[in-house]
Amino acid sequence: MGANFITGTGTDIGKTWLACALLRHWRQQGMRPAAIKPVLSGFDPAAGGASDAGRLLVALGRPANLAEIDAIAPWRFAAPLSPDLAAAREGRRIVFDDLLAFTRQAVTGAPLLIEGVGGVMVPLDEQHTVRDWIAASGLPCVLVAGTYLGSLSHTLTALEALARVGAGVTAIAINETPDSPVALAATVESLSRHVAGVPVVAIARGHPDAGIARLAELLC
């Protein structure tokens, strides 16, 4: 296994939850995975352990202190906004080449998850979005989607955006949306008809282990 981005169709779709579940699964299998969350908005230093980066560190069995967070999430911003806007509020900007270099340096051959920020088309700076980051890295991604009403359109739109820049998709993880009127199985069945060649993995909210295990195998 190499490295894979964890990206999503939008914000709060479950990227961190899924990444943590994969990391714990691999550790239980005796593997030594790694993870980075280079860009993080809405960061509160007083609650670093509860941040996305902090949760990844806990899943890795590492302390979620500020030094460890800094090592995996160097671009942190206070405002819970898109990275370009959050950075601008602090008089800062993300230098895309620096972000790309940091990402590439993290790839060592060990299992690695690179968690993106927001959805596929979230702006990073004046010219680049998350999909540009994925494409420029040359690494494949897992697209995390939901089962809420409208998720099929959002997922297919995200796939089209990734395809336009040649970004490879290892799998689509359908993370069941709580209290959705759309069934998980129906979402998987419908989406599968439109994404021939891309595995669609169902992640049931109440009992996710089987889905996590299947996704972990696809990434190995």
**DSSP secondary-structure letter at 129?**
B
Q: Is 15 a catalytic residue?
A: no
- pLDDT given at position 1: 63
| CATH number for 204 | 3.40.50.300
With residue 6 as reference, give the H or E element that holds it. strand 3-8
Residues of the chain with pLDDT under 50: none
* Structural domain for 103, as ranges: 3-219
pLDDT digits (tens, 9 = 90+) for 32-80: 999 999 999 999 999 999 999 999 999 999 999 999 999 999 999 999 9
| DSSP 3-state of 36 | strand
Q: Which strands sit side by side in the sheet containing 3-8, from one edge to the other?
A: 34-36, 112-115, 3-8, 141-145, 169-175, 200-203
CA 7 – CA 82 distance, rounded (Å)? 14
Predicted pLDDT of residue 128: 98
Rounded Cα distance, 160 and 195, in Å: 10
Residue of 17, 175, 46 lying closest to 37 (CA atoms): 17
Residue 135 has which token pair?
Answer: 């494409």
From the candidates 37, 76, 128, 154, give the one annotated as an active-site residue. Answer: 37
Q: Which 8-state DSSP code applies to residue 56?
A: H
- pLDDT at site 104: 96
Number of structural domains found in the chain: 1
Give this prediction's pTM: 0.96
| Cα distance between residue 91 and residue 186, in whole Å | 46
Tens digit of each residue's pLDDT (9 = 90 or more) over 169-184: 999 999 999 999 999 9
CA–CA distance, 180 with 164 (Å, rounded to integer): 30
